[in-house]
Amino acid sequence: MQNRLKEVCLFGSLDDKQLNRLNQISSVKNFKPGNILFYEGDQPKNLYFLLDGLIKLYRYDKNDNINILSYYYSQALIGEAATLQRTPHQLSAECETYCSVLVVSFDEFEKDFLKDPDIALGIIMQLVTKVKQLMNTNMQQTSMQKLASLIFENHELFTKLKKYKIAEILNMAPETFSRNLKKLKSDGVISYDKSHFEIIDKSALSELFACCPSYHK
């Protein structure tokens, strides 16, 4: 368990004594697709850190329709804003795939770890990353920029999920998704088949989602 904790970006600065204490107040839980991490309105008691898998955050509107607000994949805190503020969760979190989640008792974590500047900074950086993601979502991006950015950040998703699900995450028509993916492959930026997905030219890929003038929406 301690070796698994060392792999989590938030806890890389902890010494063996701290890791042992964290181990005492934590557990790694495995969830199946459709399992709920927490519901909207639940009182938060734990910190959830997604180690592997895909989780969607959603709420119901007044007509009982599901509105998906965001997706998160591995190495991400889930629902931490409510936990840190000790307010009810504003969204529900559901596993879209098989997920492995580190669950940490927040009362104990707050007492023993939040005073550590490296841990506090790590949580702040997680929040900053989410704000950036939200800003990017609200920006006018081409479909190619969205795709290139996701590949750059987590290309492992492309071996774990069906193409239609990735297109859904990107809020993109499946036909547009497939066309852009084939274009990246033909340009030698990526390589893939049914069993593997690889970035061939990382520099070219990063240029695409930073500025993508030659591709159309």
Q: Is the CA virtual torsion 185, 188, 189, 192 positive or negative? A: positive
pLDDT at site 139:
55
pTM: 0.73
Both structure tokens of 12:
């890389």
Burial of residue 211 (CB within 10 Å: 0-12, 13-18, 19+) is exposed
Common-topology check for domains 2-137 and 140-210: no
The stretches in the chain having pLDDT less than 50 are 211-217
CA distances from 213 to 66, 180, 185 (A): 35, 14, 18
CATH class assigned to 140-210: mainly alpha
CB 56 within 8 A of CB 96: yes
How far apart CA 2 and CA 24 sit, in angstroms, is 10
Residues 63-81: tens digit of each pLDDT:
888 888 888 887 788 998 8
Instruction: Give the model's pLDDT for residue 214.
Output: 44
| Domain boundaries, given as residue ranges, for the chain | 2-137, 140-210
Residue 212's pLDDT is 39
User: What tens digit of pLDDT does each residue of 15-36 get?
Assistant: 888 889 999 999 999 999 999 9
Q: Which single residue is written with the structure tokens 């998160």?
A: 72
Kindly provide the b/e burial profile for residues 173-186, where b requires at least 16 CB atoms within 10 angstroms of the residue's own CB.
eeebbeebbebbee
- pLDDT tens per residue, range 92-114: 999 999 999 999 999 999 988 88
Categorise residue 102: left if φ over 0, alpha if ψ from -120 to 50, beta otherwise. beta
Question: CATH 2.60.120.10: does it fit domain 2-137?
Answer: yes
